[in-house]
């Protein structure tokens, strides 16, 4: 992936302990923000998708595919791309001004999101219109 890419895909190391599998993230290796919120996406149903937005200026996120599979659709200025994530070994950092949404989540999909903001119900930081997102990118 070229250096001008804003998102980054990681392959995590799974440690096989005698009685469980351990997957550990030393956060300084993955993010450069203070974690304010952690949220979990489980039990997908219907269209098996979520999201499709970018954060304008504030929210940076790290997504961990902890179980099952999903495809995250991202655009960091290079057009829409599909990135397939498999658990428990994939994570992807998605800073603000990267369009992102999940699709094709498997029945057993578990996604952990580690984020830089507390949730704002006003959603002022959310850009949920892809055409507007492309305009914002050009104005940067």
| Residues forming the site for its own copies (CB under 8 A) | 17-28, 34-50, 64, 66-67, 88, 105, 110, 112, 114, 118-119
Q: Which is nearer to its own copies, 76 or 110 (CB)?
A: 110
Please say which residue, 27 or 84, places its beta carbon nearer to its own copies: 27
- Terminus-to-terminus CA distance in the chain, angstroms? 22
**Secondary structure of residue 62 in the 3-state scheme:** strand
Structure tokens of 131? 């055409």
In the complex with its own copies, the residue whose CB is nearer, 66 or 97, is 66
For 29-55, give one letter per residue: b (16+ CB within 10 A) or e: ebbebeeeeeeebeebeeeeebbebbb
Identify the three-state secondary structure at position 101.
strand
In the complex, the smallest distance separating the C-beta of residue 86 from its own copies, rounded to whole angstroms, is 13
Minimal distance, residue 66 CB to its own copies, in Å:
6
Looking at the Cβ atoms of 78 and 123, the one nearer to its own copies is 123
Q: Cβ 119 to its own copies, closest distance in Å?
A: 6
């Amino acid at each position: 992936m070229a250096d001008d890419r804003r998102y980054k895909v990681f392959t995590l190391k799974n440690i096989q302990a005698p009685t469980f599998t351990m997957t550990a993230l030393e956060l300084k290796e993955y993010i450069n923000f203070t974690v304010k919120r952690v949220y979990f996406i489980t039990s997908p149903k219907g269209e098996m998708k979520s999201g499709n937005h970018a954060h304008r200026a504030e929210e940076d996120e790290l997504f961990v595919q902890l179980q099952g599979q999903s495809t995250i659709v991202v655009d960091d200025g290079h057009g829409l791309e599909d990135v397939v994530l498999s658990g428990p070994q994939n994570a992807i950092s998605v800073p603000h001004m990267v369009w992102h949404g999940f699709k094709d989540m498997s029945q057993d999909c578990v996604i952990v999101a580690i984020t830089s903001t507390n949730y704002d119900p006003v959603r002022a930081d959310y850009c949920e219109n892809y055409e507007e997102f492309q305009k914002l990118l050009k104005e940067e």
